[in-house]
Structure 1
Amino acid sequence: MMHAVHDLMFLYLLTCLGQNGHGSEIINGKNVPQNSMQYMASVQINGKHVCGGFLVSEDFVLTAAHCYKNSPMEVVIGTHNLKKVNNNKMRYSVKTCKHPQYDKAESGNDIMLLKLSRKLQLDKKVKPIQLARKEIKAKDNVKCQVAGWGFTETNGKAVDVLRWVDVPLIDLNVCKRKLKAKVTLPKGVMCAGGSDTKNGFCQGDSGGPLVCNGTAVGVVSFNIYRNCEYPNWPNVYTDISKHLSWIKNILKKKQC
């Protein structure tokens, strides 16, 4: 749902690799009910949505490292409708904390914390989400969703109201086999949706959470060919459980 902004060199690299750009929108989804998913955040540059994110503490939002641009970034928290933003209460400037080993999404470690300029007030509209403490596997048969403000079809338009969709987890070995001819999956990722289903993410959903049983287990990273006409290729997420120690260390120190 979120329309990710990519610099030209990165787009060119992705094209050469045959990858669908980082971030995407929600495909075949529906509007998120009010007073739910209170952890969702819109990552913005110059007042425009570029990626998704999600609140993990009173001080930090988690998103994808590829969402970083060499421009001041902000987050909007506390609304599902990006046309209804109280800038004094909902908009925060941030300090970016990219994973130190991040290079590009297809190499892994596509994860970034954003430190809020001020501690936010938690209420019925704003609440952090719990992070997965261990790896979630397809055989666990859990119910998962992905949400965002991205496109709703290939080459479509971003939306103002947050949308979500159910996506099935894909066994990592199956995912590797399906993507073998397109990309070699790095360590620390997981796959869900996009393959053998009409549901998944598209341009603009980068950095948003993959949520299973109310717990954030993944971060939207990339898909293939910038094509959201599923089913085709699995969607790839950063596995939060594989980066939990890095996340907890920053949250504890309250700085990068």
Structure 2
Amino acid sequence: MAVVLLCSQGPGQWPGSSSSSSSMMAGPSLARLVAAVLLGAALCAAQPGVGTLDVREAQPHARPYMASVQVNGTHRCGGALLSAKWVLSAAHCLDGGAPELPQVLLGAHSLSEPEPSTRLYDVSRAVRHPYSLPDSLEHDLILLQLAEEAALGRAVRPLPWQQEDRELPPGTRCDVAGWTVGTPIGRRPDLLEALLPVLVRSGCNLRALNDERGLVGVTERQICTDLRRRDRCRGRALGDSGSPLVCGGVLEGVVTSRGHLCGDPSGPGISTRVSSYAPWIRSVLEDGAGN
């Protein structure tokens, strides 16, 4: 399932160009071609670590922090268990007028096969970030308080989250997992995983983004990762929004744009940078500690 990215062609060759065709150009046309090649070289040089992107089935229960956020018994989004009573996900996962609070499935690898480790928990409270909006990917976080403490064990365990407000260096390899619908694997919805490189934010903002909510740039409170794949998913990619972006065993981001596990050659993947919201997350968790 590997895919060769644009930059793998080398900074000196623009896709579709050749030395014979460029030698026929002169004057302004040649100048424009040179400028385009130089821009492409700069973008590739500024994005270390970009190479191939593979999606595969995760080892069962190797990510005991994974949560399936469900509405009316159907998987809606991923999430990360922060403590025995709190799950962090993306606020837009509950847009669309869901009449009731969601439920959270913990301890799962498969969403279609019964497993003794799984348990479905009711949610007693959903706390959206106060500045999150349905038509925006900014501040796209929601905290879900479970009605009772989760039974922790080998298949259910909280994930440490980044509380120091810091940027991830470009080229950092992070992983994401989720139960994406319409996967290239084409099997039952078991947990999938992918390794993603962090990209330079300025480079991401120069690439066209293909999101129905009209995202026009990546902010300082977001993380940009590369998604380009040749083997696209069948149909629309759903289900991995809200999933944790994990770097070095620590939660660094929450997936906010669709298609992290399917790939989108027209634009990068966007995750909300958790550390930039650390004060808000801590305040909500502390406020609910006695409930």
Which bin holds the TM-score, normalised by the shorter protein?
Answer: 0.7 to 0.9
Quickly say closer, same or farther: Cα 1:33–1:188, change in 2 above 3 A. same
Asked whether 1:231 is paired with 2:265, we answer yes
Match of 1:247 in 2: 281
The number of residues matched between the two structures is 226
Quickly say closer, same or farther: Cα 1:48–1:107, change in 2 above 3 A. closer
Please give the per-residue CA displacement for 1:170-193, whole angstroms capped at 9, x wherever unaligned.
Answer: 111111221479632345211112
Tell whether the 8 Å contact from 1:190 to 1:218 is kept in structure 2 after alignment. Answer: yes
Quickly say closer, same or farther: Cα 1:180–1:62, change in 2 above 3 A. closer
Please give the per-residue CA displacement for 1:208-233, whole angstroms capped at 9, x wherever unaligned.
Answer: 01111111111111148x99554331
Please give the per-residue CA displacement for 1:143-172, whole angstroms capped at 9, x wherever unaligned.
Answer: 211110013548x97842101011111111
TM-score, normalising length from structure 1? Answer: 0.77
Tell whether the 8 Å contact from 2:227 to 2:269 is kept in structure 1 after alignment. Answer: yes
What is the aligned-residue identity percentage? 28
Quickly say closer, same or farther: Cα 1:200–1:207, change in 2 above 3 A. farther
Shift in Å, 1:245: 0.8
Please give the per-residue CA displacement for 1:36-58, whole angstroms capped at 9, x wherever unaligned.
Answer: 11000000011110111110001
Q: Which has the higher strand share?
A: 1
Asked whether 1:194 is paired with 2:224, we answer no
1:184 to 211, 216, 221: 216
Asked whether 1:96 is paired with 2:96, we answer no
Distance 2:99 2:187 in 1: 22
TM-score, normalising length from structure 2? Answer: 0.69
Shift in Å, 1:107: 4.6
Match of 2:17 in 1: none
Q: Answer with 185-194 or 226-235: which moved more.
A: 226-235
- Bigger Rg, which one: 2
- Could you say which structure has the greater relative contact order, defined with CA pairs below 8 angstroms and 6 or more residues apart? 1
Distance 1:199 1:143 in 2: 21
| SS of residue in 2 equivalent to 1:251 | helix
Q: What runs of 5+ residues in structure 1 fail to find an aligned partner? A: 1-26
Distance 1:44 1:35 in 2: 19
Distance 1:187 1:119 in 2: 34
Match of 2:102 in 1: 73
Tell whether the 8 Å contact from 2:88 to 2:143 is kept in structure 1 after alignment. Answer: yes
Q: Which amino acid aligns with 2:221?
A: G
Distance 2:196 2:231 in 1: 6
RMSD: 3.1
Q: What runs of 5+ residues in structure 2 fail to find an aligned partner? A: 1-52
Shift in Å, 1:113: 0.4
Distance 1:179 1:138 in 2: 22
Asked whether 1:40 is paired with 2:66, we answer yes
